[in-house]
Amino acid sequence: MNARAIYDVPAPAKLNLFLHVVGRRADGYHRLESAFMLIDWCDTLHFELRTDGRIQRHDLGPKLPENDLCIQAARLIQTVSSSPLGVDIHLEKRIPSQAGMGGGSSDAASTLLALNRLWGLGMRSDQLLTLGLQLGADVPFFLFGKNAWVTGIGEQLEAIELPRGQFLVVKPAQGLPTARIFSDPGLRRDSPPAIIFDFVENPFNYGRNDLQDVALKHCPELGTALNWLAKAGLQGRMTGSGSALFAPVPEGWQKDIPKCPFVHRFCENMPSHPLMGWSG
């Protein structure tokens, strides 16, 4: 028997500990190398079963785009499975948008996992990963469920173990659309391959984000936020292709920081996704 509802489903954000652009494919997609890390800054979703086949989202916060990745994920799994069931999705959005933290992708992944249960579909992990890649390059990571060494366009994942850490995440008001950054002619696209053994020696300070110099041109607030972090004694770095920055926080670091003009949050990393094991 199907459940009638599944409440309090988390959708965690991620940080790119580094991001190197190592080339570009013939189809225009960029070849990347990165390390994705889950953090405890989460959206929360609630799912209530409908028997009329309708899919509706109810925003418990700021109004979201009508056809966001959460809705796209629900419609995709409904179509592929030929399920006659529907759902009311109540979404508490906390992860900032256009931040490079994967919030929309994480919502989509949690939606696939929850509807697989709510509708009793019994889809396997590999089937859900295939659906996730159709929605976006970051979605498979959240379905994969572990911190990962990432290659390809973001879909090739190898599990990695990371030490526990704390991070200060800062998000300027201005967002950064991914397409604007990757289409910039000044973007470096020829970084040498990353070396995982060097990364393991110093995972929170390895490499760089190749998108950061280009992003600073499009979002001056990034420079202001980087300077603010530096004055607080922290070394900031952009995550992903959005406007959020993060800085590792040393153990015992004083949290009485100067007044921050940006959205900010202290986060801890997570060893695995809280929905790990929800698929077959």
Q: Is 231 in the active site?
A: no
Beta bridge partners of 91: 45, 59
User: Which bin fits 125, alpha (ψ -120 to 50), beta or left (φ > 0)?
Assistant: alpha
DSSP tag of 2: -
Q: How confident is the model at residue 254 (pLDDT cuts 50, 70, 90)?
A: low
pTM score, two decimals?
0.95
Considering the four listed CATH numbers 3.40.50.2300, 3.90.105.10, 1.10.3720.10, 3.30.230.10, the one that applies to the domain covering 1-280 is 3.30.230.10
The length of the chain is: 280
**What is the Cα–Cα distance from 255 to 252, expressed in whole angstroms?**
9
Beta bridge partners of 56: 88
Residue 79 pLDDT > 60, yes or no? yes
Is residue 132 within 8 Å of 140, Cβ to Cβ?
A: yes
Give residue 42's pLDDT.
98
For the segment 29-56, the average pLDDT, to the nearest whole number, is 97
For the segment 33-61, the average pLDDT, to the nearest whole number, is 97
For the segment 54-64, the average pLDDT, to the nearest whole number, is 94
Choice among 14, 93, 146, 171 that is catalytic: 14
Helix (H) or strand (E) holding 268: strand 263-268
Q: Is 63 in the active site?
A: no
Q: Which range, 36-40, 183-187, 231-235, 256-260, is most confident?
A: 36-40
Q: How confident is the model at residue 255 (pLDDT cuts 50, 70, 90)?
A: low
Domain range list for the chain: 1-280
Residue 69 pLDDT > 60, yes or no? yes
For the segment 28-51, the average pLDDT, to the nearest whole number, is 96
Give residue 253's pLDDT.
76
Ordered alpha helix ranges (H), the chain:
69-81, 103-118, 125-135, 139-144, 178-182, 196-201, 212-218, 220-231
Choice among 43, 68, 138, 210 that is catalytic: 138
For the segment 252-266, the average pLDDT, to the nearest whole number, is 80
Percent of the chain clearing pLDDT 70 (strictly above)? 98
Residue 1 pLDDT > 60, yes or no? no
**Which of 6-10, 27-31, 96-100 has the lowest average pLDDT?**
27-31
Residue 146 pLDDT > 50, yes or no? yes
Instruction: List, for residues 154-187, the tens digit of each pLDDT value.
Output: 889 999 999 999 999 999 999 888 888 999 999 9
CB atoms within 10 A of CB 140: 24
Q: Which range, 114-118, 136-140, 190-194, is most confident?
A: 114-118
Is residue 93 within 8 Å of 108, Cβ to Cβ?
A: no
Residue 2 pLDDT > 80, yes or no? no
* Average pLDDT along the chain: 94
Chain-centre distance of CA 126, in angstroms? Answer: 20
Q: How confident is the model at residue 258 (pLDDT cuts 50, 70, 90)?
A: confident
